[in-house]
């Protein structure tokens, strides 16, 4: 049985990061909403309570019946999780005199405590809370402090129940990984047997069992997720998997040809469909970003559906959905910033059952699985690329000519990043075609042509991102090359906005 840690999500922005950290300890974990604890699951070995944007005394605060888990499994509460357990057991939690954000150092540590083994005095920890625990329940005791926060960590006497008011999961907490290791491995007793190889072995066996002799269709995008899902399914059912790769005409330069060659090299059974004419005609004159996305999403479904119907007796739709796409998120504000689900609605329309072999993996784990499956490195490390492609990087309406200009400029930028050894240092990069013309001079001629923006960001999950601090010499070279060789462009700018408040894509 695959043992697991359960992370109860109280809505913190760092909940996913806790999950990733536990997985880095080769331990399988699942993030579930705070009120969905799988009480009857025999494979659970420990429970972590996440942070939350609420205060424990807030009317809207998420609450659980702690008695249902207390004593059954070791528990670690992080931030709100720690405050909640202290509060419901008779401790006090109050607004901190000054909000406690950022770095702090541990000034007192009970080194004999199993949670604190190997953690050095003076270790930096990351605080982020507006409340603080001012007194503990009588049967709890303090095991670490900082200069500002007396009760930085505690344990309940004679019980496997701990709380920490800092965030061990964030990179700035130097001792964070050690603390999580102490909890997951020493206290919960994880066997640490979760790895890419073990995942492939169990998943291929499970897919064989689940799919039997059935046929599966899968939409490939050229990205790492759908590619790894395809290779995994191919391992399990061979030629009974048919992959469909739709060219909507807004891919990168030569990408369709290159990716098709890659897929064929991997032994996949791929149908490539050039549907660019259809997409260009449906998008003609459309300027609204969300409408562009909707048109492409629907067009994609139509083409895919038509192709899939050419294969007899298909029962399943394979998808490269990964864990961050599925975590049932506790949307506190409920706002959608952009609609990212390009193929939502496909399984219902086609009356197919869904098969999502990567739905439990984080992005870095998908890459590890791809490597273990022997896939080429350039496919695995490929930057994320939006489903609607260059359509959301051409501000305003779309024409084949604008796509040509953008493809050429983008190709110069991306090839340059590779040549300069910068490609793997950024999370993703691309060029945006602006709806702006400006005056320039070339030779003796006055020009009045388009401006493009280069965009390159660093990130770990696309939720937040910073603009990449690329060398000036590199930017100068790319700018010169674009202006000198891409007809129709006479000005290049570099986007220096972070996310938030900007987003990675411009539309
Ligand atoms: P934003 O622009 O929201 O992008 O900061 C975050 C990540 O999502 C990608 N993205 C999309 N991916 N369909 C997709 O499949 C879309 O409509 C879409 N919009 C943005 C973006 O490239 C970045 O990696």
The pLDDT, as a whole number, for residue 44 is 98
CB atoms within 10 A of CB 191: 11
Catalytic (active site) residue 79: yes
Better pLDDT: 341 or 480: 480
Average pLDDT (32-60) is 95
Residue nearest to atom 24 of ligand 1 (CA): 384
Question: Chain-wide mean pLDDT for the chain?
Answer: 92
Say how many Å lie between the CA of residue 355 and the centre of ligand 1: 23
Confidence bin at 345 (pLDDT 50/70/90): low
Confidence bin at 154 (pLDDT 50/70/90): very high
Out of 505, 506, 507, give the residue to mutate to test ligand 1, the one with the largest number of ligand atoms within 8 Å of its CB. Answer: 505
Catalytic (active site) residue 167: yes
The pLDDT, as a whole number, for residue 16 is 87
318 bridge partner residues: 218, 355
The pLDDT, as a whole number, for residue 346 is 66
Catalytic (active site) residue 129: no
φ and ψ at 166, to 5 degrees? Answer: -105, 180
For the stretch 170-217, pLDDT in tens is 988 999 999 999 999 999 999 999 999 999 999 999 999 999 999 999
CA distances from 70 to 9, 64, 137, 152, 384 (A): 17, 11, 15, 21, 42
| Active-site residue, from 79, 175, 188, 243 | 79
20: its two tokens: 């990733």
pLDDT at 349 over 60: yes
Say how many Å lie between the CA of residue 458 and the centre of ligand 1: 14
Say how many Å lie between the CA of residue 173 and the centre of ligand 1: 29
pLDDT at 337 over 80: no
Residue nearest to atom 11 of ligand 1 (CA): 386
259: its two tokens: 């990716």
Buried b (16+ CB within 10 A) or exposed e, 213-248: eebbbbbbbbbbbbbbbbbbbbbbbeebbbbbbbbb
- What kind and span of H or E run contains 10? none
Q: What is the pTM of this model?
A: 0.81
Residues whose beta carbon lies within 6 Å of some atom of ligand 1: 293, 338, 340, 342, 384, 386-388, 392, 428, 462, 499, 503-505
For the stretch 411-442, pLDDT in tens is 999 999 999 999 999 999 999 999 999 999 98
Say how many Å lie between the CA of residue 505 and the centre of ligand 1: 6
For the stretch 278-292, pLDDT in tens is 999 999 999 999 999
The pLDDT, as a whole number, for residue 327 is 63
- In ligand 1, which atom is closest to the CA atom of 505? 2
φ and ψ at 232, to 5 degrees? Answer: -65, -45
Average pLDDT (325-350) is 54
For the stretch 120-150, pLDDT in tens is 999 999 988 789 999 999 999 999 999 989 9
User: Using an 8 Å Cβ cutoff, are 211 and 235 in contact?
Assistant: no
- In ligand 1, which atom is closest to the CA atom of 387? 15
266: its two tokens: 């991997």
Average pLDDT (379-402) is 96
**High-pLDDT (> 90) share of the chain, %:** 83
For the stretch 452-506, pLDDT in tens is 999 999 998 787 899 999 999 999 999 999 999 999 999 999 999 998 899 999 9
The pLDDT, as a whole number, for residue 96 is 85
Taking the C-alpha atoms of residue 292 and residue 290, their distance in angstroms, rounded to an integer, is 5
433 bridge partner residues: 394, 452
- What kind and span of H or E run contains 388? none
The pLDDT, as a whole number, for residue 341 is 47
What is the chain's length? 507
- The β-bridge relationship of strands 140-146 and 153-156 is antiparallel
Say how many Å lie between the CA of residue 340 and the centre of ligand 1: 6
107: helix, coil or strand? strand
The pLDDT, as a whole number, for residue 101 is 73
The pLDDT, as a whole number, for residue 233 is 98
User: Using an 8 Å Cβ cutoff, are 104 and 72 in contact?
Assistant: no
Name the CA dihedral angle for 359, 195, 427, 33, rounded to a multiple of 10 degrees.
40
314: helix, coil or strand? strand
User: Using an 8 Å Cβ cutoff, are 296 and 391 in contact?
Assistant: yes
Average pLDDT (76-84) is 97
For the stretch 286-324, pLDDT in tens is 999 999 999 999 999 899 999 988 999 999 999 998 887
pLDDT at 336 over 80: no
Average pLDDT (219-225) is 92
Average pLDDT (162-177) is 94
For the stretch 101-112, pLDDT in tens is 778 999 999 999
Least confident of 28-32, 94-98, 466-470: 94-98
């Amino acid at each position: 049985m695959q043992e697991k840690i359960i992370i109860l999500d109280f809505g913190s922005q760092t909940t996913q990061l806790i999950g990733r950290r536990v997985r880095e300890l080769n331990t399988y974990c699942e993030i579930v909403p705070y009120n969905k604890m799988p009480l009857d699951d025999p494979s659970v070995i420990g429970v972590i309570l996440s942070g939350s944007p609420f205060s424990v005394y807030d009317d809207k605060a998420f609450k659980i019946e702690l008695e249902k888990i207390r004593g059954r499994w070791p528990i670690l509460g992080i931030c709100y999780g720690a405050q909640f357990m202290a509060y419901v057991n008779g401790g006090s939690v109050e607004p901190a005199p000054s909000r406690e954000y950022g770095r702090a150092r541990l000034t007192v540590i009970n080194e004999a405590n199993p949670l604190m083994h190997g953690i050095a005095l003076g270790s930096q920890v990351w605080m982020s809370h507006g409340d603080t625990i001012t007194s503990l329940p009588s049967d709890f005791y303090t095991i670490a402090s900082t200069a500002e926060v007396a009760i930085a960590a505690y344990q309940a006497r004679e019980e496997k129940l701990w709380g920490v008011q800092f965030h061990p999961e964030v990179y700035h907490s130097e001792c964070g990984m050690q603390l999580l290791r102490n909890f997951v491995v020493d206290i919960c007793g994880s066997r640490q047997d979760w790895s890419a190889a073990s995942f492939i072995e169990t998943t291929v066996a499970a897919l064989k069992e689940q799919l039997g002799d059935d046929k599966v269709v899968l939409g490939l995008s050229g990205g790492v997720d759908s590619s790894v899902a395809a290779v995994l399914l191919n391992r399990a059912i061979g030629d009974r998997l048919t992959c469909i790769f739709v060219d909507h005409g807004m891919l990168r330069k030569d990408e369709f040809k290159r990716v098709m060659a890659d897929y064929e090299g991997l032994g996949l059974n791929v149908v490539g469909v050039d549907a660019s004419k259809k997409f260009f005609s449906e998008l003609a004159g459309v300027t609204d970003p969300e409408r562009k996305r909707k048109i492409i999403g629907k067009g994609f479904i139509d083409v895919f559906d038509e192709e899939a119907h050419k294969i007899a007796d298909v029962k399943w739709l394979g998808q490269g959905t990964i864990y961050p796409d599925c975590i049932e998120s506790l949307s506190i504000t409920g706002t959608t910033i952009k609609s990212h689900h390009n193929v939502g609605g496909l399984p219902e329309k086609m009356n197919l059952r869904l098969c999502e072999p990567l739905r439990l993996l984080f992005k870095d784990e998908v890459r590890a699985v791809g490597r273990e499956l022997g896939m080429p490195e350039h496919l695995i490390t490929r930057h994320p690329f939006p489903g609607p492609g260059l359509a959301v990087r051409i501000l305003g309406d779309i024409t084949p000519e604008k796509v040509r200009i953008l493809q050429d400029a983008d190709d110069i930028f991306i090839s340059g990043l590779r040549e300069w050894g910068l490609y793997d240092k950024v999370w993703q990069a691309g060029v945006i075609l602006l709806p702006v013309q400006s005056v320039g001079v070339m030779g003796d001629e006055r020009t009045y042509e388009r401006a493009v923006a280069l965009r390159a960001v660093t990130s770990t999950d696309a939720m937040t991102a910073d603009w990449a601090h690329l060398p000036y010499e590199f930017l100068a070279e790319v700018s010169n090359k674009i202006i000198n060789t891409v007809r129709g462009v006479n000005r290049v700018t570099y986007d220096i906005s972070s996310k938030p408040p900007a987003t990675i894509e411009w539309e």
